[in-house]
Structure 1
Amino acid sequence: MYSFFQLIKRHKKKSVVFALLLIVYYFCLPSDLFKDPTATVITSQKNELLGAQIASDGQWRFPHNDSLPDKFKICIVQFEDAYFYEHPGFNPISIFKALKDNVSSGEVKRGGSTITQQVIRLSRKGQARTYLEKAKEIILATRLEFRDSKEDILAYYSSNAPFGGNVVGLDAASWRYFNRDAHQLSWAESATLAVLPNAPSLIYPGKNQKRLLQKRNRLLKKLLENEIIDSLTYNLSIAESLPEKPYALPEIAPHLLQKVATTNRGERTQTTIDSKLQERANYIVKNQYNVFKQNEIYNASVLVLDVHTRKVLAYVGNTPTDRAHQKDVDIIDKPRSTGSILKPFLYAAMLDAGDLLPNTLVTDIPSQFGSYNPENFNKEYDGVVPASRALSRSLNVPAVRMLQSFGLDRFHQYLKQLQLKDLKYNANHYGLSLILGGAESNLWDLCKSYASLSSTLNHFSETSSAYYSNEFVEPTFFASETINFGEKSTEKTLFDAASIYLTYESMKKVNRPQGDESWEFFDDSKQIAWKTGTSFGFRDAWAIGTTKDYVVGVWVGNADGEGRPGLVGVQTAAPILFDVFDILPNSDWFAKPYDEMREVTICSKSGHRASTNCDITEQNYVQNSGLKTEPCPYHILTHVDATETYQVNSSCENLSNIKHKSWFVLPPLKAHYYKTKNPFYKPLPKLRLDCMGENQVTMDFIYPKKNNALFLPKDFDGKTNELILKITHSKPESSVYWYVDKTYVGTTKDIHELAILPKKGKHTITVVDDFGNEVKRLISISE
């Protein structure tokens, strides 16, 4: 040690120079050898190529890949640098031979470069091939050998070597020339790619086939002679043909690729996509598109989520249509009118709040709310209908009336907690049309919401009745991400488990599309909670379904918003939904969350908690909050004769002959529509004429509706049509007296309809019966 320091002191200048040279040598190699732009590449959950977006410089250059297939490594070493694993970055013998040949010929005939030197030359692109440059390459090559392993150097070479045309790197070349991953190449294919970088401008698949074949076969012969492959493999390999022309890269998830490119441009990204499911979903959408386009419907999208991991399993952003119909637009995250797809959230919210039991009768009669006049899709009314059936049949009027009863602001707050990002305005901006498509959302957010509800149910049953604080988390399509559902809690996140379960039980009963109606008669049929939606003007068709394990969402329509007849959720989106569910594994149905439910006595006819007057009851499990709902208001105790034809009392009948009967009674307007769908409905019997006392008499308008603005059309002869007034009366045999603006206009009996011809302007219609009961209706006539 002493002599070493003495040597330094004796030769200070030389030591300083030597130290400086060491420092220069240490820092002479850039930390990043290659800074060229690379393609954006996405792969499946099993690392299968789904698609790639060309690099910004127009080259098919995949991101650097450290994983090299053994066959290619052997081929490239045997062809380019047989002593690669022995030399320090350069091969003196090869350099000497190359120098000798070049001097004797008077031109550069061979370079004698090692693979390490070629890596340096590739990184220093554009440099002239001079002896000075060769010296620099040797110095840098030795530095690279000190810094990186031989495997790393091979990876540098394979990722950046030119393979002809605009193809750079082994990964891109493998897909462009053989349409498969490099790890799946045969010996012949690996040998072909190993010889291509040696002269990429002269040897190109589809051209110069003879020279390429000779080079490939010479390499294969060398592999045979070195006993790397056997004679059988050699003979089979030389019999393989060469690629004729480049293949197009896979386009299995093009819209997901463009989404990933917005945040991970130029990177290789492993996604959560199941490639087989993705390809089958693509096929389903393509087949349906070929049908839809006959009706000028050109776009559709499908999203499949794993409920347990919240990972995206399939992402079909659009149909394989053309540019004129915006095939490149990713519909999945675009805002569209929701139609009826939000109705299950309202049903769940009312259950959760204790405003409703699953089968409580809700009103379904012609209704008007200011200038808003909602109608059912079939233009018919049921009078009253169980809430669960109103949901499964997607009836509009009951939904609007339920929203009015529940509270617009209240429901709007629930939707905000679902984190629907396209719900940008306050509740009053949307009004009651919010529940029928007055708002916008997108397929991503809606599927996310249904997945969160399903996951809430799963976690509740898996954790002995606990909830998670971060249940409504964003799904992911990055394989590297793991969803954090937060901390366990006894407090619900948004809806309690029972309300979600009961909502799904109702959604399970939605009528399936044509051809799949008898699903419930087959033991192995899939139980799916699902809902469709159709926006105003037939512009958007939705179908979203969930099982315990998966959520599938479908949107169908035109990207430019053009409506088309027949663009209805159950006719267009639902068939795709069930086709996709058919290729997914079967799922068990959700476990009933007993800890959030109570068994109560329910009135079978009204769906309310049974009152003392309910004659037919059943025991049902309902949500805990349902215990505060009102008892059945529709059953009354009445006294009838032995034949149940008339009401009687002690003034006209012996007590021994009077029957005490529970009777299901609806208000007149509800009863008017209810009995058209329920022929066995019996109105309350009339009081027998010889009995003293009065029955409660009720009547109501059927038409016109409240605050109705009416237009009276004219016939071809110019005559204005009359306005037909209609009421319903609990005693239709009574006489009813009609007045328009206090002017008597007529009397009706039995059938209470009257034709009038009012003048333009506002009028008050007044109806009075024999018992002095009176109802009024304000109308406005326009021309």
Structure 2
Amino acid sequence: MRRFGLFALVALLWGGAAARDGFEDWVEATVLPPVLAETSVEVRDRAGLLLRGYTVEDGRWRFSVTLDQIDPLLIDMLVAYEDKRFWDHPGVDGIAIGRAVVQALREGRVVSGGSTLTMQVARLLEDSGTGALAGKLRQARLALALERRLTKREILTLYFTHAPYGGNLEGVRAATLGYFGKEPHRLTPAEAALLVALPQSPEGRRPDKRHARALAARDRVLARMQRFAVIDGDTAAAARREAVPAARRDVPVLAAHLADRAREAAPFAQVHDLTVDRALQARLEALAARAVRGRGDHLSVAMVVADHVTGEILASVGSAGLDAAESRDGFVDMTRALRSPGSTLKPLIYALAFDRGLAHPQTLIDDSPVRFGPYAPQNFDGRFRGEVTVERALQLSLNIPVVRLTEALGPAHLMAALRRTGAAPALQGGAPGLAIALGGLGLTLEDLVQLYAALAQGGQARPLHWREGAEGVPGPEVTDAVAAWQVGHILSELAPPPGAPRDWLAYKTGTSYGHRDAWALGYDGRHVAGVWLGRPDGTPVPGAFGGEIAAPVLFEAFQLLKPAPEELPPPPAATLMLRNADLPQPLRRFRARDGLYRSAGSRLELAYPPDGALLAGQQVTVKLRHGTPPFTLMVDGAPLVTGARARALPVLLPSAGFSRLSVVDATGASAAAMVQRE
């Protein structure tokens, strides 16, 4: 049958030459198949490198390509091996067909087929057979028509887009990514020879399935290339020593969640160019996998790194990896999940207090029991430190001082400042309360990174973006430059995690209620980053603290970003850098707006120690609020002090461990607290 096909092609050429006008009309009347096939959607990094691809509808990898993206050696080898008169013939090579007929008559079998690259493109476009008479005639007619309507370069581009390379790899870019893990613009002679050989028998020569056959086919191509002087003998010998890949590689899947987000935002775009740096993204994804290894099956991690000068997001890691989808819910993008921010809002609160003249870093503020109506905030460790500087209160991440400042600022003003940074805080209830200062609202990791970018930019909101070319103008002012610098200076003096370099970052950690979220946010003079660790389903992670598990990841992320930090800016000219004693009188000690804290009423209260307090030492001063003296104080039900009229009662706790303190006033009202002595 193949011999009949060759004879038919010869007859076609002779007949066409004899009746040229009719032949031309016949070619011109050819209906071409679609030449614009669906190609894989691509998500690329800031340098145009592939971050993630998506298969076409039938599950094949088929990437668009131009000849400029292909190593010229591969083009030269393909033309020399398959169709050496490609650049000259009109689509059907009469000389090759004539030679094939003579060989078939002499040998009694088809030795060479005479098919041109243009005819192969015709077959690929129509997915027609190679040997049937009707198929050969159709391919010849279609090849002649293609040559009249397309350039030679366009025809070669179609070949490199559609040629099969085994499995679901179609086209040269899919092949080089699948077998070599790289783009086709720079290939070794051995790689180019394998790519020439594979489309002739894509399944029979698949290197990952038929390794020996692939090797033999490649070497035959190399031998012919040497014979045709495409490569010299030394190059061919060296190429034969090069190994043939024994397995397929995965097409890149980097920044998977951000890639999906880009597709959702522009579903009809074929190419999505992001601001992400592929090399940094790969390093941080490896860091994310290491960060959760050995910490249980359900822990996940998220990271965002950005340039706070330009607003470009350079890396976005939504989970510990898509391959951990079942055990770690890797499909959930935790950079966009609403979570409690814990203590990570404290720098903003202090900056707002500095900006409004309520405090200075050296202002003294009271860290002692306080109640705002029914709300009585506690420090994370249950301790009270008395008067401390505002600077120290922020560095120790004390809760009571920051709630005092929030009460003075007003929770609504804090929410407004958050929104000016570009964040979208979420509240479960109605109006915001003081609890938002300690994480009583929902924010995303991207929100927090954007907030810290504003602090790094001298209080100017810096909207972050991940799509190349989407940068906008800076946002509104959140705080003045002096307040932002003061907060950054305080945070830069925090001790780094063990083993991390000093003088690297201004950073803050946070842990949400119940150990559900561990945070670390930080910045230097150019970049800002945020890290979250926790369980996507919101269940607690016992013993998880931001300072212990998130901060080391943050510092390592910065070290993977660059070899050395970029210095924070110097203080603005208007910065007031004085000791407490030299401050103006109103700034020496913080006072609430009305000088008093609100109480629930005149009922007896045990102001100190609070319920659940951990106390150091045997002696403790019990402090009472309200009630009618005289007072009776009992420890574990036994009267220890009677007839007392003072509201500060020094007592000795009987033993280490838990004790129940209770007090009764003259009216019979009582209050109690369970405390623990170290």
Same fold (TM over 0.5): yes
Change (3 A) 1:108 1:328: farther
Query: Shift of residue 552 of structure 1?
Result: 1.5
Give the share of equivalent positions with the same residue, in percent: 29
Does the CA contact (< 8 Å) of 1:544 and 1:554 recur in 2? yes
Deviations 1:459-505 (A, max 9, x none): xxxxxxxx7xxx532321x4x42523269xxxx63322222111111
- Of 592, 599, 607 in structure 1, the residue corresponding to residue 570 of structure 2 is 592
The 5 Å alignment of 1:599-638 reads 599=576, 602=578, 604-605=580-581, 609-611=583-585, 630=586, 632=588
- Of 462, 466, 491 in structure 2, the residue corresponding to residue 472 of structure 1 is 462
Q: How far apart, in 2, do the equivalents of 1:495 and 1:358 lie?
A: 15
- Matched with 1:714 is none
Deviations 1:269-307 (A, max 9, x none): 4443333333332333333322433xx662112221122
Query: Shift of residue 738 of structure 1?
Result: 1.8
Rg bigger for which structure?
Answer: 1
Does the CA contact (< 8 Å) of 1:603 and 1:632 recur in 2? no
Q: How far apart, in 2, do the equivalents of 1:750 and 1:214 lie?
A: 95
- 2:492 matches 1:508: yes
- Of 506, 512, 521 in structure 2, the residue corresponding to residue 544 of structure 1 is 521
- Matched with 2:451 is 449
**SS of alignment partner, residue 573 of structure 1:** helix
Does the CA contact (< 8 Å) of 2:507 and 2:522 recur in 1? yes
- 2:413 matches 1:413: no
Change (3 A) 1:363 1:89: farther
- Matched with 1:385 is 388
The 5 Å alignment of 1:425-574 reads 425=427, 428-456=430-458, 471-476=461-466, 478=467, 480-481=468-469, 483-485=471-473, 493-516=477-500, 525-574=502-551
**SS of alignment partner, residue 607 of structure 2:** coil
Does the CA contact (< 8 Å) of 2:607 and 2:625 recur in 1? no
Q: How far apart, in 1, do the equivalents of 2:27 and 2:671 lie?
A: 95
Give RMSD over aligned pairs: 4.1
Q: How far apart, in 1, do the equivalents of 2:596 and 2:121 lie?
A: 90
- Matched with 2:320 is 319
Does the CA contact (< 8 Å) of 1:301 and 1:319 recur in 2? yes
**SS of alignment partner, residue 481 of structure 1:** coil
Q: How far apart, in 2, do the equivalents of 1:258 and 1:355 lie?
A: 45
Q: How far apart, in 1, do the equivalents of 2:458 and 2:155 lie?
A: 50
Does the CA contact (< 8 Å) of 1:408 and 1:432 recur in 2? yes
Letter in 1 for 2:549: T
Change (3 A) 1:118 1:298: same
Query: Shift of residue 181 of structure 1?
Result: 2.9
Q: Indicate the larger mover: 430-439 or 533-542.
A: 430-439
Does the CA contact (< 8 Å) of 1:710 and 1:779 recur in 2? no
Q: How far apart, in 1, do the equivalents of 2:181 and 2:587 lie?
A: 69
Q: How far apart, in 1, do the equivalents of 2:588 and 2:203 lie?
A: 87
- Matched with 1:54 is 55
Q: How far apart, in 2, do the equivalents of 1:261 and 1:182 lie?
A: 25
**SS of alignment partner, residue 469 of structure 2:** coil
Letter in 1 for 2:643: G
Change (3 A) 1:747 1:199: closer
Does the CA contact (< 8 Å) of 1:116 and 1:153 recur in 2? yes
Change (3 A) 1:58 1:143: same
List gaps (5 residues or longer) in structure 1.
1-17, 458-466, 520-524, 612-629, 636-666, 670-699, 712-723, 730-735, 766-777
**SS of alignment partner, residue 532 of structure 1:** strand
- Matched with 2:331 is 328
- Matched with 1:658 is none
- 2:15 matches 1:39: no
Q: How far apart, in 2, do the equivalents of 1:494 and 1:236 lie?
A: 64
Letter in 1 for 2:584: A
Deviations 1:715-769 (A, max 9, x none): xxxxxxxxx963499xxxxxx95269xxx9723579636986659xx9786xxxx
**SS of alignment partner, residue 244 of structure 2:** coil
Letter in 2 for 1:526: D
Deviations 1:387-427 (A, max 9, x none): 22222221111111111111011111111222223x23488
Query: Shift of residue 111 of structure 1?
Result: 4.6
**SS of alignment partner, residue 514 of structure 2:** coil
- Of 557, 567, 575 in structure 2, the residue corresponding to residue 580 of structure 1 is 557
List gaps (5 residues or longer) in structure 2.
1-20, 613-620, 633-640, 652-660, 674-678
- 2:99 matches 1:197: no
Q: How far apart, in 2, do the equivalents of 1:310 and 1:148 lie?
A: 44
- Of 217, 220, 228 in structure 1, the residue corresponding to residue 219 of structure 2 is 217
Does the CA contact (< 8 Å) of 1:63 and 1:267 recur in 2? no
- 2:289 matches 1:286: yes
- Of 620, 630, 644 in structure 2, the residue corresponding to residue 738 of structure 1 is 630
Does the CA contact (< 8 Å) of 1:709 and 1:779 recur in 2? no
**SS of alignment partner, residue 510 of structure 2:** strand
Does the CA contact (< 8 Å) of 2:489 and 2:506 recur in 1? yes
- Matched with 1:90 is 92
- Matched with 1:73 is 75
Letter in 2 for 1:328: F
Q: How far apart, in 2, do the equivalents of 1:710 and 1:278 lie?
A: 47
Give the alignment's TM-score, normalised by structure 2: 0.80
- Matched with 1:726 is 623
Change (3 A) 1:380 1:112: same
Q: How far apart, in 1, do the equivalents of 2:647 and 2:369 lie?
A: 22
Does the CA contact (< 8 Å) of 1:53 and 1:257 recur in 2? no
The 5 Å alignment of 1:145-156 reads 145-156=147-158
- Matched with 2:655 is none
Q: Indicate the larger mover: 498-507 or 426-435.
A: 426-435
Deviations 1:55-98 (A, max 9, x none): 33221222344411112111211122111111233322234445
- Matched with 2:644 is 747
Does the CA contact (< 8 Å) of 1:547 and 1:589 recur in 2? yes
Does the CA contact (< 8 Å) of 1:289 and 1:298 recur in 2? yes
- Matched with 1:619 is none
Query: Shift of residue 163 of structure 1?
Result: 0.6
Change (3 A) 1:381 1:528: same
Does the CA contact (< 8 Å) of 2:311 and 2:462 recur in 1? no
